[in-house]
């Protein structure tokens, strides 16, 4: 075998469909585009969601509900995550800046600490909110749970 006799595997390639080359080819006349209309012409493009002039689905369905602009969405951080953060960094105080640096939260997240996991070290935690179990677990180890 050399470069002059390499061929694709059997059945892996197909011959090109040659359209618009006369009636004898079977693809002459309308060139597989059907008769008349925008889609048969060159340069045809349709908008996303366009359904051929039929009322599109997103306009047929009714609007419902609303978004409460005053809703506060908390990013939750568990005690287990705080424990691993303290073990890695050796910090005694953990706040949003340390959580952001560790990749637990985004820059402007509102943080709530939840009680899943165990805490074995004394840690001073600062966050926007605490669950009762998380606050009890932090204070049981001698740390403080400070709300921002």
Q: What average pLDDT does the structure give for the chain?
A: 93
Asked whether residue 57 is assigned to any structural domain, the reply reads no
> What pTM does this model have?
0.59
Q: In sequence order, what are the residues at sequence separation of 6 or more whose Cβ sits closer than 8 angstroms to the Cβ of residue 122? A: 92, 141, 142, 143
- Tens of pLDDT along 12-25? 999 999 999 999 99
**Rounded to an integer, what distance in angstroms lies between the CA atom of residue 16 and that of residue 25?**
12
The pLDDT value given to residue 52: 85
- Tens of pLDDT along 57-76? 999 999 999 999 999 999 99
How many separate domains does the chain show?
A: 1
Question: What's 132's domain CATH number?
Answer: 3.100.10.10
Strand locations in 69-131, DSSP E?
A: 74-78, 93-94, 110-114, 124-127, 129-130
The pLDDT value given to residue 131: 96
Asked whether residue 105 is assigned to any structural domain, the reply reads yes
Confidence label for 38 from pLDDT (cuts 50, 70 and 90):
confident
- Tens of pLDDT along 108-123? 999 999 999 999 999 9
Residue 87's domain comprises 74-147
């Amino acid at each position: 075998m050399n470069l002059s006799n390499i061929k694709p595997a059997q059945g892996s390639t197909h011959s090109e469909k040659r359209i618009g080359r006369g009636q004898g080819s079977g693809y002459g006349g309308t060139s597989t585009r059907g008769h008349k209309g925008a889609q048969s012409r060159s340069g045809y493009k349709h908008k996303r969601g366009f359904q051929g002039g039929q009322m599109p689905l997103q306009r047929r369905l009714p609007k419902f509900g609303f978004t409460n602009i005053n809703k506060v969405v908390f990013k939750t951080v568990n005690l287990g995550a705080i424990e691993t953060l303290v073990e890695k960094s050796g910090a005694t105080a953990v706040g949003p800046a340390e959580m952001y640096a560790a990749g637990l939260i985004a820059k402007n997240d509102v943080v709530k600490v939840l009680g899943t996991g165990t805490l074995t070290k004394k840690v001073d935690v600062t966050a926007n909110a605490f669950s009762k179990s998380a606050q009890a677990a932090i204070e049981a180890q001698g740390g403080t749970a400070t709300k921002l």
